[in-house]
Structure 1
């Protein structure tokens, strides 16, 4: 294996040299040439992810986990537009109250929603909610 006579340094060493100005022109070029800038920078991508998460909460776009989708399908539960709107609204209200994992009751249906991820984790109808115990939730919303 040939290593073209390059000197390897830790990220911390490179940062220290850049801060103190002790990096030569060639070294500075090598340390900075692979760093993305503009819309491909880490900060830019992180901001886009944060904006998308905020938009999902504000627009009420819910995702259903595979388990929740299977439960709805197995029990032939079809949500009306009104029920879906109320489920979205319940998720927004839970988020505003700082709830992380919420039980949201819509008519005769119960949903466990991971609020930060805006994801319905599971769904139950009235036949399953009788005598049920809901655990690992930190809030409930009835809409």
Structure 2
């Protein structure tokens, strides 16, 4: 006797109130995971984040960056990423930052006096931001 239950594949419904995210084929031809799609969507609109190291450096060295500069830095970091830059040196009027465009994260920061005697390595792009 049949129980009347069909064993078809199950489909998970999107969370109420959230936009429906559709998977798209990844480069290898497989379907991208939800985590990958979510991460990509979050990074499209997310501002730059500060690593704990960079946050401490900015605070300890009393380096201030205006909201306008942060916006320009984030915009230029996104643009650099589209051009293949993975790690960029960002120079502002009073600071030097190393930004990972892959992670949208400021890795380290220093004021201009420190930067003058510093050799930056593993950088494949430079962004100059004027206020």
TM-score, scaled relative to structure 1 = 0.65
SS in 1 for 2:102: coil
1:46 aligns with 2:36: yes
SS in 1 for 2:106: strand
> Which residue of the partner structure matches residue 68 of structure 2?
82
What is the alpha-carbon distance in structure 1 between the residues aligned to residue 40 and residue 60 of structure 2?
34
- After TM superposition, the structure 1 = structure 2 runs for residues 13-92 of structure 1, keeping only pairs within 5 Å, are 29=7, 37-39=12-14, 43-56=33-46, 61-92=47-78
- Bigger Cα Rg: 1
> Which residue of the partner structure matches residue 107 of structure 1?
93
1:125 aligns with 2:111: yes
Contact 1:68 1:123 in 2 (8 A): yes
Moved over 2 A (4+): 35-49
What is the alpha-carbon distance in structure 2 between the residues aligned to residue 88 and residue 49 of structure 1?
17
TM-score, scaled relative to structure 2 = 0.71
What is the alpha-carbon distance in structure 2 between the residues aligned to residue 36 and residue 74 of structure 1?
51
SS in 1 for 2:88: strand
Listed as ranges, the gaps of 5+ residues in structure 2 are: 1-5, 16-22, 24-31
Aligned CA-pair RMSD:
2.6
Q: Which structure dedicates a bigger proportion of its chain to helix? A: 1
